[in-house]
Structures are given as structure tokens and as C-alpha cells.
Structure 1
Amino acid sequence: MSLHLDEDLLRTFLAVADSGNFTHAALRVGRTQSAVSMQIKRLEEAVDAVLFERGARGVSLTSKGGQLLGNARRIVGLLDETAALFDATSLEGKVSIGIHQEYAEERLANALHSFDRRHPGVEITVRCGTSEENLTRVQSGDLDLAVIFDWQGHSDGEVLMVDPTVWVTSEKHLTHERRPVPIALFRDSAWSRDFAIPSLESCGVDYRVAFLSAVKGGLRLAVTSGLAISPISRSDIPPGCRELTADEGFAVVDHSNVVLVINPSSRSAAVAGMAEAIREAFAQIPTQAAIVASGKAE
């Protein structure tokens, strides 16, 4: 059998396999959910095998899909390495970047991987921390650049996107219908005190703090398990969960800007190249709302 495997289809296959969800894969590759589904269908037709099992909570690899996964990674990796080998603009030097965990898994993971493949001569150092920590490190010179949340407009940086924080509930457990409604918050967080709780009180929502976490993974666990509702970035709503709306008595918590801040003393070509890779990662990926609307239109 003569088999032609399209690079674009393999990249989409990897995005679905890594995220376990067509919607999140769409965010990664910058396409609509329906377009991603169509690409997977084309790939399954090309290899004459079902690659994913569809379920209520996402998708998982079949045995054939698992067999393809390793080869797909090697093929795409070799293509990226070959492109970098013949890229006359390949950079060298050092870059230190601070990232917020909210975007470490999706947007920035792809940006960092692509940059590393294209510029193997650049030594990249990454700090994953809070926005306050990374902003301080950029200002002190410990980091060249960082991607942070700015919900108060205090940072002098470049706005990459506006990503509102909203109250999120489990579609299965309907946790938001309980009274008092159990909520999950970041532990020892001024933002929770100044924004999350006031958004409930302004709407007259009776609540109790049922879950405290130092990391976003804890908040996602609280929501998906039905233990609590939680404030989560609209672009990061977990599968099986949804935003609570004004019609249900909940307000948007904030309209956070996602901001790129650069140390003015960091003027190397490598830092400029990394900044551009980050801009492209955010510019090429539509918002979740745009994906849903586009998918409905198709």
C-alpha cells in the first residue's frame, strides 16, 4: 500500500493525542474544532484505522493510534530539526523566560518547543511561577522576559490577549446549584480576596470556601470532581465544565490582560526572537469563544 502521511495531519494528530480533547487541540493548532475533527478523519482514512476512541470526557488513543504516536513524534521532530539545520536565521545566545502555569501547557509549550527546534544554539532557561514573582524577576534583571497576568493595569508591557476570569462549574455535578455554593480559591491570594470573593458578594451569592490550592491544578480538580466551583480563565475551562453566566447569577471575576514584559537591558537577537515566538503563539490561536462560534457556523 502506498501511504502518504501529510505533515499537517500528523501535527494535528499529536495535538489531539497530547490534549485528549478536540477543543483543546484546536487551540493548539489554531483551527476550529470541526476542522480538527475533519483532519483526524482524513488521517484515519489514509491509514485505514481508527486512531481515537470518543467518550463523554474526551478522546483516547486506540491501539493503532498508540502505534502511530511514537512514529508521528519522530517524523515531526525530524522535519523541525531539518528546517532548523538549513535556517540561515538560526540564533545563538541565552534567554531566560518566566511563564505563568495558566499558559505553560498549551500556548507556551508549543512556542518554546518550536523556538528550541528552530534555534538549537540558544540556551533557554524557564521559570514557572506567579505573575508577581516573574514580574519582579524581570524588573530585577533575573529574567529577560515573562508572560504574566495583569488584572490591575500596573505592568508596563505588551498586551497579548484579554482572557477574562469566570466562575466555572461541572456540567455533570451541577455544583453551582448548591447553597451555600462551595468555592475553590488560591490559597493566601490577594487576588481571591480582592476580586473573586467580591464578585460573588456583589451578586448576592451565598458561598463557603470549600477548597484551597496553591496551584491551578487544584482548582481544576475541585471543579471537575464536583467539589466546588472556581474562578478559572475562560481560555482554560476544563473538559466537562462550563462558564457560569449572568443569567445564572454569576458575574465575570475580572478582565485580565495577558502581558509580555521584557527587561529593557535584554536586547539580544535571541531575546527578540523568543518574544516574537510568544507573540505568534498568542496571535495564531483563536479564543475559545471564537472557536465555538466558528464551529457552529460550519
Structure 2
Amino acid sequence: MRNLDVTTLRSFMAVADSGGVTRAAGFLHLTQSAVSMQLKRLEETLGLDLLDRSGRGIALTANGEQLLVYARRMVALNDEVIAKLTDQAYEGEITLGVPHDIVYPSIPQVLKQFNAAFPRVRVHLVSSYTRALRDQFARGECDLILTTETDAAPEAETLALRPLCWIGAPGGTAWRQRPLRLAFCRYCTFRPKVVEALEAAGISWDMAVETESDRTVEATVSADLAVHTMIEGTEPPHLERIDHNGALPDLPLQHINLYGAQTSRGVVTDTLADFLRRAFAGAGVSRLKAG
């Protein structure tokens, strides 16, 4: 009688979902060789080839596709049995990546809710730029990430669509100056779209501040020395949306995307993903009106 090992099935699922052994190893917190050995053991147990390794990437064979359906059910049932019969106290660490500009106001509330549900699981919050977060996610260094992008990535789940809005100092006049003085972080994904909108509107501009520090940008804008853009609803209390009466161009909608939650990854990760959905999805789609 041959018996399937749930651990090897979990590794098989991770490889199938992530599209590669390296990334799956990062998610599972195992070495690449350990995951490869588990896959080999699973294939030897069944006497079947489950992965097609002939191409540049890894694809499932027909047998692999069939096994994946059963593997999901078996792993889910295993986790349900453990949770129900042992009433285990979950513990460990989960890594969540969030762009600087959408940490507030939603993420503190998400962390509070998650801590109440899993007090022994530590959330390692990584705050960086969308481009850097996607690179980290691809390397398996983050379990879940949020991004701000101008489109909906096929491998991600869009939680909300919100417009960019012009941000300045309370009662400030920097937005009236020409050339328009801008303050942006060097790797900000909004920056190319903002410049494109200004060029299309025929508005001259000058990059007054180019930095890697969000604090530097905020200080400059607070001093009314430049303007900035942020996703609607994420501006801090010491800055305000600019009531420009159409003097500045409309800016594109931004997708707040969630990566890593397209398939079940266990109760801890799934719960955190649900909290993120609730925090951002309620905003829906809105468009800031000029004036």
C-alpha cells in the first residue's frame, strides 16, 4: 500500500501555484534542493511524471494537473482536521509587503485585527515601492504584497480602484506656479503618469525634489515648495487635496492589487488576505471632481 505524504503534496501545490521551485521554496521557507527532493519523492511514490521540465519554466503534465485537484482537497482536509481536533494556537511569522503611500490609514487596522485573531503570529511588515515589492515577492521573500499599479495584473487580485489626486500644503499656492514644482520619490510609480498628464496638458514642470525619502517629499510639500500626488484617501492630515478648479490635469485611476492570495495558502495567510480585502475593497471606484 502506497501512502501520499501531505508535506510533499503541499510542496507540489506551492510549485504549481508559483510556477517554479525557487519561488515555492521561498514561500515554504525551505531550500530549493529540499523542495526538489520532495517533488522527486512524490513522483517516485506514484510512478508518474508530474512536472514537464522540457521548457524554460516548469509546467504540469496531464497527470500533474489531475493530482493538483486531489492535492488541494487533501491538504485542505488535513489542515481542517488539525485545526478542529487540536485547537492549535497558530504561531510563526508572515511577511506582508505594502507600498509606503497606502500604509495609512488601512494597514494599522488590518494589523490590529490580525493580531486579535492570531496573537502568536508575527506580521513582518515590509514597506517599500511597488517595483521592489514585486521583485521580493517573485523571490519568495513576501507571503502577500499590495501594489499600486495603473492596470490589473493577471496574476493579482484588484481590491480597489482609486484616482490619484494632487496634494499640497493646506492653503498653499505652489500649484499655481509655472513651471509647476514637483516633489517625488525616485522610484515612485505615479511619477511617469503625472509627467505624461502634465505634458499632454501643456503645463511646464520642474522636478524640485527627487529623493528616496517619503519624509523629504512630505516636508517639501508641507512647506508649500512643491506639489505631489497620492491615491485618494491616503493623504496625511498635514497635507490636503488641491482644489485647482481644472487648472491641473485629471490623473489616472490606480489599481490596488493583492498578490499571493489567488489560491488558498492556509488559514493564517487566507485570513490576512481577507482582512486586506475588507480594508480596501469597500472604497469601490471613485473619481475626484475638479473644483
Q: Work out whether the TM-score is over 0.5.
A: yes
What is the aligned counterpart of 2:208 among 201, 207, 210? 210
Equivalent residues of 2:152, 2:257 under 8 A apart? no
Aligned length: 202
Equivalent residues of 2:104, 2:234 under 8 A apart? no
* Pairwise CA distance, 1:197: 1.0
Which amino acid in structure 2 is aligned with residue 206 of structure 1? S
Give the TM-score normalised by the residue count of structure 1: 0.59
Structural mapping, 1:175-254, within 5 Å: 175-189=174-188, 191-192=190-191, 194-239=192-237, 241-244=239-242, 247-254=245-252
Structure 1 position 151 matched with structure 2 position 150: yes
* Pairwise CA distance, 1:189: 4.8
* Pairwise CA distance, 1:129: 1.4
Task: Tell me: CA distance 1:237–1:138, structure 2 relative to 1, closer, same or farther (3 Å).
Answer: same
Tell me, which stretches of 5 or more residues in structure 2 are unaligned? Answer: 1-86
Q: Secondary structure at the match of 1:202?
A: helix
C-alpha RMSD over aligned residues = 3.0
Task: Tell me: CA distance 1:191–1:237, structure 2 relative to 1, closer, same or farther (3 Å).
Answer: closer
Q: Secondary structure at the match of 2:253?
A: coil
Tell me, which stretches of 5 or more residues in structure 1 are unaligned? Answer: 1-87, 291-298
Q: Secondary structure at the match of 2:233?
A: helix
Q: Secondary structure at the match of 2:141?
A: coil
- Tell me the residue number matched to 1:133: 132
* Pairwise CA distance, 1:243: 3.2
Q: Distance in 1 between matches of 2:272 and 2:209?
A: 37
- Tell me the residue number matched to 2:272: 274
Q: Distance in 1 between matches of 2:100 and 2:189?
A: 18
Which amino acid in structure 2 is aligned with residue 216 of structure 1? D
Q: Secondary structure at the match of 2:111?
A: helix
Equivalent residues of 1:99, 1:126 under 8 A apart? yes
* Pairwise CA distance, 1:271: 0.5
Q: Deviations over 1:191-225 (max 9, x none)?
A: 52x31211111111122221122233333222221
- Tell me the residue number matched to 2:121: 122
* Pairwise CA distance, 1:282: 2.1
Task: Tell me: CA distance 1:182–1:190, structure 2 relative to 1, closer, same or farther (3 Å).
Answer: same
Q: Distance in 2 between matches of 1:248 and 1:264?
A: 40
Which amino acid in structure 2 is aligned with residue 227 of structure 1? L
Q: Would you tell me which structure has more helix in proportion to its own residues?
A: 1
Q: Distance in 1 between matches of 2:172 and 2:188?
A: 27
Structure 1 position 142 matched with structure 2 position 162: no
Task: Tell me: CA distance 1:89–1:289, structure 2 relative to 1, closer, same or farther (3 Å).
Answer: farther
- Tell me the residue number matched to 1:108: 107
Task: Tell me: CA distance 1:99–1:238, structure 2 relative to 1, closer, same or farther (3 Å).
Answer: closer
Give the TM-score normalised by the residue count of structure 2: 0.60
Equivalent residues of 2:98, 2:125 under 8 A apart? yes
Q: Identical aligned pairs, as a percentage? A: 17
* Pairwise CA distance, 1:137: 2.2
Equivalent residues of 1:138, 1:263 under 8 A apart? no
Q: Distance in 2 between matches of 1:266 and 1:129?
A: 25
Equivalent residues of 1:92, 1:270 under 8 A apart? no
